[in-house]
């Protein structure tokens, strides 16, 4: 998709200028003519490096949720899509979101379907979002579907916020501990080492190790920085490989407490997204395929692909869920009930609520479990410092 600067005149002869996004110059001409404009000049806009960097900036999830809910309300009130987008673009405080909405508005005015316009911004509007917009356009129930989508996005965002919130306190304590430890190793311990050396004191092994680490950190700090960057880049590259993604997923699920929380959260996202797609009249095979593209966890992403292939062959979803151990028996049982009653979407939504509740309880348990663990780690660090540096001082004072 390219960006073109244009100068044109309307039917009254009034000059207008601006930009238009299009696949090619001919497409840009068509879009402008469809708006009743007579083109005077049209040139492709060349992006600078700064513009390219800005193009990678996304939009906060809460902005997308707000946009979706307000857009649904306006359409439900009878406002035309183009008018609703124009109003939303004018009132949104986020500059990136405003740019996205205006771009979608230009596409709509040029005759492009709404779902296609959303598809140009996959970092803002997910595959699920685009599919639901397409289903809403086809069924004439765009407002209802967007409202359900906003509710789902809000539920998922709240769950994610609770999980992150539970980790804020431990993260702050961990960063503080590392910072204090580094400061002592670089500034305090060298002075103590100099004092011990001048007094010719026999030091315990733990003290010698700590002094050696301090000397290394003070004189070879660049090695630590290079190794740290290398580990971070290596982990990122490993995570992006199929094997690495699968390995990290298995390790994450195997962790105590964290594994349970992660699994419950992924199950909630999986079932809620699938429920939303099915309730919007999207065929189950297509819905499972979409889920496989939006789920971040490798284990459930693969499971969604396998489930789509399994169901496409004429089998039931509940049979697949029953055969795959990554899904709890409850989900298979409830899915079977939903298939028998013809209310699979409703049942899956109820299961999603259950998993979300379980995640909430587990997150609260995580906070309670981490507090004593943090105290133990802090106590261990204090004890190590006492043994390593206070003991020699005590020996010196005792010998005087």
Residues 191 and 291 in one domain: yes
Instruction: Supply the pLDDT for residue 399.
Output: 64
- Round the CA-based radius of gyration of the chain to a whole number and report it: 29
Which has the closest alpha carbon to 129: 65, 62, 74, 63? 65
How far apart are alpha carbons 175 and 381 in whole angstroms? 14
Among the three residues 117, 137, 154, which one is the final residue of a domain in this structure?
154
Instruction: Supply the pLDDT for residue 45.
Output: 66
Strands (E), the chain: 2-9, 15-22, 38-44
Residue 281: which domain range? 155-400
The number of distinct structural domains making up the chain is 3
What mean pLDDT comes out for the span 295-302?
89
Which helix (H) or strand (E) segment holds residue 366: the answer is helix 344-385
pLDDT per residue as tens digits for the range 145-202: 999 999 988 888 888 888 787 778 778 888 888 888 888 888 888 888 888 888 777 7
Residues 245 and 206 in one domain: yes
Instruction: Supply the pLDDT for residue 314.
Output: 93
What mean pLDDT comes out for the span 51-77?
79
Going across the sheet that includes 15-22, the strands are 15-22, 2-9, 38-44
pLDDT per residue as tens digits for the range 312-342: 999 999 999 999 999 999 999 999 999 999 9
Instruction: Supply the pLDDT for residue 307.
Output: 95
Of the given ranges (68-72, 308-312, 331-335, 388-392), which has the lowest mean pLDDT?
A: 388-392
Instruction: Supply the pLDDT for residue 232.
Output: 92
Instruction: Supply the pLDDT for residue 21.
Output: 64
CATH of the domain at 289: 1.20.81.30
What mean pLDDT comes out for the span 372-377?
82
Which has the closest alpha carbon to 348: 202, 214, 134, 152? 152
Residues 110 and 172 in one domain: no
DSSP alpha helix (H) spans, 200-343: 205-219, 221-239, 242-254, 258-279, 284-294, 298-312, 317-323, 329-341
Which has the closest alpha carbon to 330: 345, 346, 348? 348
Residues 127 and 161 in one domain: no
- CA distances (Å), 45 to each of 50, 74, 109, in order? 14, 34, 21
Instruction: Supply the pLDDT for residue 300.
Output: 93
Residues 31 and 140 in one domain: no
What mean pLDDT comes out for the span 249-264?
85
Residues 328 and 379 in one domain: yes
Residues 349 and 266 in one domain: yes
Instruction: Supply the pLDDT for residue 95.
Output: 86
How far apart are alpha carbons 132 and 112 in whole angstroms? 16
Residues 310 and 357 in one domain: yes
Instruction: Supply the pLDDT for residue 2.
Output: 65
Instruction: Supply the pLDDT for residue 65.
Output: 92
Among the three residues 54, 74, 93, which one is the final residue of a domain in this structure?
54
What mean pLDDT comes out for the span 213-241?
89
| pLDDT at residue 367 is higher than 80 | no
Instruction: Supply the pLDDT for residue 373.
Output: 81
Half-sphere exposure of 234 (CA within 13 A, CB side): 6
Residues 80 and 192 in one domain: no
Instruction: Supply the pLDDT for residue 327.
Output: 94
What mean pLDDT comes out for the span 274-294?
91
Among the three residues 54, 71, 92, which one is the final residue of a domain in this structure?
54
How far apart are alpha carbons 331 and 386 in whole angstroms? 53
Residues 212 and 139 in one domain: no
What mean pLDDT comes out for the span 333-352?
94
Phi, psi for residue 15 in degrees, rounded to 5: -75, 140
| pLDDT at residue 56 is higher than 60 | no
Q: What is the value of pTM for the model shown?
A: 0.70
Residues 230 and 323 in one domain: yes
**Residue 8: band (very low, low, confident or very high) from pLDDT cuts 50, 70, 90:** confident
Q: Is 14 helix (H, G, I), strand (E, B) or coil?
A: coil
CB 287 within 8 Å of CB 135 = no
Residues 238 and 200 in one domain: yes
Instruction: Supply the pLDDT for residue 22.
Output: 66
Residue 249, both tokens: 């997923």
Instruction: Supply the pLDDT for residue 55.
Output: 47
Residue 222, both tokens: 């660049």
Instruction: Supply the pLDDT for residue 46.
Output: 61
Give ∠ CA 204-209-214 in degrees, rounded to 5.
Answer: 125
pLDDT per residue as tens digits for the range 72-112: 999 999 999 999 999 999 888 888 899 899 889 888 887 88
Q: What is the mean pLDDT of the chain?
A: 85
Of the given ranges (4-8, 244-248, 273-277), which has the lowest mean pLDDT?
A: 4-8
């Amino acid at each position: 998709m390219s960006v073109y600067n244009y100068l044109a005149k309307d039917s009254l002869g009034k000059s207008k200028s601006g930009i238009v996004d299009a696949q090619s110059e001919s497409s840009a001409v068509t879009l402008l003519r469809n708006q009743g404009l007579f083109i005077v000049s049209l040139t492709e806009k060349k992006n600078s490096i700064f513009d390219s960097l800005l193009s990678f900036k996304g939009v906060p999830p809460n902005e997308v949720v707000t946009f979706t809910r307000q857009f649904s309300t306006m359409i439900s009130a009878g406002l035309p899509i183009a008018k609703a987008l124009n109003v939303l673009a004018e009132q949104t405080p986020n500059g990136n979101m405003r740019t996205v909405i205006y771009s979608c508005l230009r596409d709509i005015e040029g005759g492009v379907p709404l779902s296609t316009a959303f598809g140009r911004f996959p970092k803002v509007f997910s595959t699920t979002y685009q599919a639901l917009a397409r289903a809403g356009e086809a069924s004439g129930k765009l407002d209802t579907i967007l409202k359900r989508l906003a509710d789902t996005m809000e539920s998922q965002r709240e769950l994610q916020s609770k999980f992150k919130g539970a980790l804020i306190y431990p993260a702050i304590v961990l960063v503080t501990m590392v910072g204090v430890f580094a400061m002592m190793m670089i500034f305090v311990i060298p002075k103590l080492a100099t004092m011990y050396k001048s007094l010719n004191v026999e030091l315990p092994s733990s003290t010698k190790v700590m002094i050696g680490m301090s000397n290394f950190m003070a004189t070879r700090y660049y090695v630590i920085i290079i190794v740290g960057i290398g580990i971070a880049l290596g982990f990122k590259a490993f995570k992006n490989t199929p094997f690495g993604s699968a390995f990290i997923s298995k390790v994450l699920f195997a962790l105590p407490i964290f594994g349970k929380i992660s699994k419950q959260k992924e199950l909630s996202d999986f079932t809620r997204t699938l429920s939303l797609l099915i309730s919007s009249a999207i065929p189950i095979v297509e819905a499972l395929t979409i889920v496989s593209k939006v789920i971040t966890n490798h284990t459930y992403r693969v499971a969604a692909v396998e489930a789509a292939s399994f169901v496409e062959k004429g089998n039931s979803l509940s049979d697949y869920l029953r055969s795959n151990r990554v899904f709890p028996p409850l989900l298979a049982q409830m899915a079977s009930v939903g298939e028998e009653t013809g209310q699979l979407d409703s049942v899956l939504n109820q299961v999603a609520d259950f998993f979300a509740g379980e995640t909430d309880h587990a997150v609260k348990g995580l906070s309670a479990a981490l507090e004593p663990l943090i105290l133990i780690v802090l106590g261990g660090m204090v004890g190590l410092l006492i043994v390593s540096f206070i003991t020699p001082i005590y020996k010196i004072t005792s010998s005087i």
